[in-house]
Amino acid sequence: MTDIIDVQQTFSIALSAPPIPEGIASIVGVDAPTEAAVGETVNITTTIRNDGDNDSIFVTLTDVDTGTIVGARQEAVLSAGQEIPFSWGLTMLDRTYNLRLDAGHTE
């Protein structure tokens, strides 16, 4: 008698990653107006969550067009899973603000 293989299936089992021993900042949301008049104060609030281990989490707000940091660096120590809001007040320029929010952790 001869064995005949009728069907095959391959599969993988991934090696699980060890727990992350540092913080990982995640942007939960951003609250900002979609338009504003020149000279008006624009309030921007972002909520950041630490998806890693207890760590110092920071945020900055940068004007993409000029590369200038317009929202000063803010920092807080967050436990794993903790969320915190960070806010800035900017004066609206005579042009559209194209902004980038950067969030990370400190090593």
Does residue 17 lie within any of the structural domains?
no
Amino acid sitting at position 103: A
Domain count, the chain: 1
Q: Which CA distances in Å does 34 have to 49, 89, 106?
A: 24, 14, 31
Chain segment 41-83, per-residue pLDDT in tens: 999 999 999 998 899 999 999 999 999 999 999 999 999 999 9
List of residues 6+ apart from 107 with CB closer than 8 A: 22
Domain of 68 in residue numbering reads as 25-105
User: What per-residue confidence (pLDDT) applies to 18?
Assistant: 67
Chain segment 11-27, per-residue pLDDT in tens: 777 777 766 678 899 99
Does residue 82 lie within any of the structural domains?
yes
Domain CATH for 60: 2.60.40.10
Tallying the residues shown for the chain, one arrives at 107
Does residue 2 lie within any of the structural domains?
no
Q: Can you give the pTM of this predicted structure?
A: 0.78
Does residue 11 lie within any of the structural domains?
no
User: What per-residue confidence (pLDDT) applies to 11?
Assistant: 75
Q: Within 13 Å and on the Cβ side, how many CA atoms surround 75? A: 8
Does residue 19 lie within any of the structural domains?
no
Does residue 9 lie within any of the structural domains?
no
